[in-house]
Amino acid sequence: MNRKKVIVVGAGPSGCAAAISAYESGASVEVIESRQRASIVESETTSFEALQNLTQDGDALELISKMGFDIEPEAAYLGAKIYPPSGKPLDFRLNRPHGYFIRRRGQGSIDHQMIERIERAGIKIEFGTRVEGATPDGRLTITKGDDRFDMRADIIIGADGRSTTVGKGIASPLFRKDIAIGIGRHFKGPHGFEPGIAQCWLGSRLCPGEYSYVLPSREEVTVVTTMRPHMVPKGTSYGEYLERFLATPAIREGLGPSHKVCDVFGSVPVTPGIRFGKGKILLAGESARLTDPLLGFGMKNSILSGHLAGSSIAHVDPVNEYTTWINEKIVPDLKKRMRARETIMDSLEDHQIDQMVSMIEVVISGTEVDAFFDSRRRKALGSGIWSLTRKGYTAQAMKLLLPLVRANFSLKM
Ligand SMILES: Cc1cc2nc3c(=O)[nH]c(=O)nc-3n(C[C@H](O)[C@H](O)[C@H](O)COP(=O)(O)OP(=O)(O)OC[C@H]3O[C@@H](n4cnc5c(N)ncnc54)[C@H](O)[C@@H]3O)c2cc1C
């Protein structure tokens, strides 16, 4: 039997998932990765990929284990402190883990383990090799050092991240308003934050249109501030927001004697893609803009879409099959979360965020379960939920948010 030749571009989470699934679907697979192998396996000193906080409810971990990877998360997240602009924190304890701290680089990291698994299956990975262009008829132009050569494939899976080369002309272009920037620092050593309790800070002073966060595990802390570049006032640099966050007394004290390991910088798309392939090209993960628009998390959909792209190879028309799957399994949730982003992150002013957080406190305390629907209570809460947003989107926001909050959280008493 003539096996289909699949070239996967990128050995991040989506590319690794795609390579394994395509291989298991009977294809002959090759992976092309521009980074050097050492940067995936050894280094934890440069970028955001040193750490990730995997998605809600361990869903990505479940996916990974279904695919036969055995990845131990370093810490489970069992609670959160939300700091609205007013500074008065809302303290949650969760009914079950709501995320896991896992590593992207270094020995034992998720990338490392996925790559090992690919190599064990006998799939070839070319590190230090870059795809310069790809066309829907299956041709690729590649460079390795000073060499430049062409390759051909029956299917190309573009898993090359948000600045995708493979997806040029297929994925919609990314403008400043389509991305969120993350800038932060990773620390090691004794610290004063409660391990497994994430902190989320809101408001335009620290993170215009986004959120700042602290992720402490027992011996490590990541502090990141995220923002929408088009909402950052002219003349203010992203670094200033991080410095402001680090100078906040609660953060300074919490960091205690821990020491800096590396800086963290990167960006994620926050508006979903609409095209997922063309001709012989399929796009997976961030190259297809499948990141959660609300939180910026991308691991779960990267792994899921990679898996779907790889599995579609067994079908007569992979692009059609894959596009149908993505539209069924991922897009509806992205649309919902996109509406939540527009309603919450893009619309609320600081005083409205304060009001929203105090509303949540009322609702999850269990004493005011009907607060949202009961007009007397609404009035009693003054400029409550209906006045939160400019465009009258608040009802949708709270409808989306509150059932989630109620199902997952209990208030720390
Ligand atoms: C600051 C920050 C924090 C984040 N935190 C979280 C989080 O807590 N939880 C979460 O779920 N997600 C988080 N994300 C998002 C998550 O990292 C991404 O969604 C995920 O990495 C996307 O996976 P991917 O495989 O699609 O792309 P990538 O991880 O970007 O992998 C793409 C790969 O392709 C390679 N490549 C690129 N171009 C080429 C080319 N031309 N030729 C060959 N190879 C190429 C790259 O070297 C890379 O290895 C965060 C992102 C940032 C920036």
Domain edge (last residue) among 334, 358, 377: 334
- Residue 367 clears pLDDT 80, i.e. is over it: no
Residue 370 and residue 281 share a domain: no
Q: What is the mean pLDDT of residues 235-241?
A: 96
Same structural domain, 53 and 185: yes
Could you tell me if 92 and 184 lie in one domain?
A: yes
DSSP bridge partners of 33: none
Nearest CA to ligand 1 atom 14: 297
Say whether both 94 and 125 belong to one domain.
no
- Do residue 25 and residue 122 come from a single domain? yes
* Most confident segment among 45-59, 216-230, 370-384: 216-230
**What residue type is assigned to position 26 of the chain?**
G
pLDDT tens across 79-128, in order?
Answer: 889 999 998 888 877 767 777 888 777 777 888 888 998 999 999 999 99
Q: Are 104 and 41 in contact (CB under 8 A)?
A: no
User: Model-level pTM greater than 0.75?
Assistant: yes
The more confident residue out of 303 and 110 is: 303
pLDDT value, residue 77: 84
Q: Is 282 left (phi over 0), alpha (psi -120 to 50) or beta?
A: beta
Q: Is there a contact between 254 and 83 (Cβ–Cβ < 8 Å)?
A: no
Residue where one domain finishes, among candidates 236, 269, 302: 269
pLDDT > 70: percent of the chain = 83
Residues in the chain: 413
pLDDT at 386 > cutoff 50: no
Average pLDDT of the residues in 350-365: 77
pLDDT confidence of residue 413: 36
Q: Quick one: tokens of 395? A: 């009802």
Domain that holds residue 243: 44-57+73-101+177-269
318 and 210 in a single domain? The answer is no
Residue 403 reports pLDDT greater than 60: no
Instruction: Say if 66 falls within a structural domain.
Output: no
pLDDT of residue 369: 38
pLDDT tier at 40 (50, 70, 90 boundaries)? Answer: confident
- In a domain? residue 217: yes
Q: What is the 108 CA–ligand 1 centroid distance (Å)? A: 18
Is it the case that residue 68 has pLDDT exceeding 90?
A: no
How close is the Cα of 359 to the center of ligand 1, in Å? Answer: 35
Instruction: Identify the residue whose tokens are 């002309």.
Output: 169
286 C-alpha vs ligand 1 centroid, how far in Å? Answer: 7
Ligand 1: centre distance to CA 265 (Å)? 12
Domains identified in the chain, total number: 3
Average pLDDT score over residue span 284-311: 93
Closest residue by CA, ligand 1 atom 15? 298
- pLDDT-based confidence at residue 374 (cuts at 50, 70, 90): very low
Give the C-alpha separation, 201 to 211, whole Å.
Answer: 6
Q: Are residues 127 and 138 in the same domain?
A: yes
pLDDT over threshold 90, residue 400: no
Q: Are residues 94 and 216 in the same domain?
A: yes
| 55 CA: nearest ligand 1 atom | 11
Domain edge (last residue) among 216, 251, 269: 269
Which residue from 102, 165, 268 has its CB within 8 A of the most atoms of ligand 1, so it is best to mutate? 268
pLDDT at 53: 64
Do 38 and 167 sit in the same domain of this protein?
Answer: yes
Question: Do 281 and 138 fall within a single domain?
Answer: yes
What mean pLDDT comes out for the span 252-277? 92
Which of 179, 131, 216, 160 has the alpha carbon at shortest distance from 15? 160
Q: 139 in a domain, yes or no?
A: yes
Ligand 1 first shell, C-beta below 6 A = 9-15, 32-35, 48, 52-55, 130-131, 159-161, 165, 182, 224, 264, 266-268, 285-286, 291, 296-299, 302
CATH of the domain at 12: 3.50.50.60
Is 340 within a domain? no
- Residue 213's SS3 state is strand
Per-residue confidence band for 19, with pLDDT thresholds at 50, 70 and 90: very high
pLDDT band at residue 54 using 50, 70 and 90 as cut-offs: low
Q: What is the DSSP letter of 2?
A: -
Choice from 160, 214, 265 to test ligand 1 binding pocket (greatest atom count within 8 A of CB): 160
Q: For residue range 215-232, what is the model confidence (pLDDT) as tens digits? A: 998 888 999 999 999 999
For residue 144, being part of any structural domain is answered with: yes
Average pLDDT, the chain: 84
Instruction: Kindly give the number of the ligand 1 atom that is closest to the alpha carbon of 291.
Output: 19
Are both 202 and 261 inside the same structural domain? yes
Q: What is the pLDDT of residues 142-177, one digit of tens each?
A: 999 999 999 999 999 999 999 999 999 998 888 999
- Atom index in ligand 1 nearest the CA of residue 184 equals 1
Judge whether 214 lies within some domain. Answer: yes
Residue 22's pLDDT is what?
97
Instruction: Please name which of 385, 366, 290 lies closest in space to residue 329, comparing C-alpha atoms.
Output: 290
Residue 285 C-alpha to ligand 1 middle, in angstroms? 8
pLDDT value for 129: 98
- The reply to whether 114 and 214 lie within a common domain is no
Identify the pLDDT of residue 144: 97
Asked which of 11-20, 65-74, 138-147, 243-252 is least confident by mean pLDDT, the reply is 65-74
Domain-located, residue 188? yes
Instruction: Measure 12 CA to ligand 1 centroid, in angstroms.
Output: 6
| Average pLDDT of the residues in 21-42 | 90
Q: Which residues contact 372 (CB under 8 A, 6 or more apart)?
A: 359, 363, 378, 385, 398, 399, 402
Q: Is residue 87 part of a domain?
A: yes
Nearest to 199, CA basis, from 102, 293, 84, 343: 84
Strand order in the sheet with 100-103: 51-54, 100-103, 75-76
Residue 132, pLDDT > 90, answer: yes
CA nearest neighbour of 104 among 299, 302, 309? 299
Residue whose structure tokens are 């390579």: 19
